[in-house]
Amino acid sequence: DIQMTQSPSSLSTSVGDRVTITCRASQSISTYLNWYQQKPGKAPKLLIYAASNLQSGVPSRFSGSGSGTDFTLTISSLQPEDYATYYCQQSYINPWTFGQGTKVEIK
């Protein structure tokens, strides 16, 4: 299985901050990389697909980049509703695997 490693595991931030989360794959996955947001008690929500494509309806403060093994999710100016856990996921090969998650908390 392809291992996905996110960093950091958690971070404390303030509203308006720029937030960057990284995701590394154990082998090259081209751009078969997706990002999801999950709030407590809710199902995950797709934010970014194919590394850099914003899902319809997702605010433009979210962006993604990368290819091969290294990827980044950036929130340009954190809003109160963005406090959540974020997961990367590779869809290059079955079984699809997720990163361990990054919890974004209020400072």
Chain residues that interact with another protein, rule: CB under 8 A: 1, 32, 34, 36, 38, 43-46, 49-50, 53, 55, 87, 89, 91, 94-101
Residue 37's nearest CA partner among 107, 105, 102 is: 102
Which of residues 60 and 94 has its CB atom nearest to another protein in the complex?
Answer: 94
Q: What are phi and psi of 92, to 5 degrees?
A: -75, -40
Shortest CB 15 distance to another protein, Å: 26
Which of residues 62 and 89 has its CB atom nearest to another protein in the complex?
Answer: 89
Cβ-contact 21, 102 below 8 angstroms: yes
Which of residues 17 and 44 has its CB atom nearest to another protein in the complex?
Answer: 44
- Cα–Cα distance for residue pair 54/94, rounded to 1 Å: 23
Which of residues 17 and 98 has its CB atom nearest to another protein in the complex?
Answer: 98
- Cα–Cα distance for residue pair 33/91, rounded to 1 Å: 6
Shortest CB 22 distance to another protein, Å: 16
Specify the length of the chain in residues.
107
Shortest CB 46 distance to another protein, Å: 6
